[in-house]
Amino acid sequence: MDAQPAKMTEDVGTSGLQDLEHPRREPLTRQRIVRAALHIMDDEGLEAVTMRRIGRELGVEAMSLYNHVADKDDILDSICEEVLADFRFPQVQEWAQATRAACHEYRRLLLAHPSVIAVMTERKRPFTNPESLRVYEFALDLFRSAGLSQTDTVKAFNAFGGYILGCVTREISMMIGGTQDPEHMRAHEEFARMIESSDLPHLREVLPYLIDCDVEEQFDFGLDLLIEGVRAQIATGAA
């Protein structure tokens, strides 16, 4: 009678050691593949995202990925949807404030995943996940609620979206303004010398402001112009 519990304890202990030596592998899923690809893209750049590299990241053979995704393009398309799913919707009622907050949030996402800009602009297939389109639905609702027509809503949507993409692209390259690391400082100095020796008087007079440009202030300035443009268009339509 006394020996049986001891044997059970021994069996449990042996099983526990085996689990430690051979931990259960997390099942491979489409979401795991997409998130691994996004992690690689953020850390190593878009060119590093290959089926073989994703497989190595997940500890599986590259061929096993095809049980869950069609190909690399399928993964890249899903990366766009994964990033957009992380959008934090502003809890603001007034359309202009909500628009400003939404633009800052979209900028945050793009800066957190800078390579996704290239993925979005080169995408050739439509979205497959309706949830990832909630961001666009939110933006369209803002402009419609503000009083824009359907046609003008689309124009405003494109104008704001293009502005944000352009600003983030500029921030990432940072040829003018932004970070003050040695590489950028040298580039600024070379640029300044070129301007000084060229017949570009207006560019020469604003050069100090270009170099010292605060990206946050610049982003808000552009948003102010866009929002005032929407207000003007609403007023024109109401007249």
- pLDDT tens digits along 134-169: 999 999 999 999 999 999 999 999 999 999 999 999
Residue 224 has pLDDT above 80, yes or no: yes
pLDDT at 79: 94
Residue 96 has pLDDT above 80, yes or no: yes
Which of residues 69, 93, 108 is at a domain's end? 69
> pLDDT band for position 183 (50/70/90)?
confident
User: What's the domain range around 42?
Assistant: 18-69
Domain shared by 42 and 116, yes or no: no
Domain shared by 23 and 45, yes or no: yes
Mean pLDDT of 183-202: 84
Mean pLDDT of 198-218: 88
Domain shared by 95 and 65, yes or no: no
Mean pLDDT of 69-91: 94
CATH of the domain at 148: 1.10.357.10
Domain count along the chain: 2
pLDDT at 11: 52
Domain shared by 142 and 232, yes or no: yes
**Long-range CB contacts (within 8 A, 24+) of 158-162:** 159/226, 159/229, 160/99, 160/103, 160/226
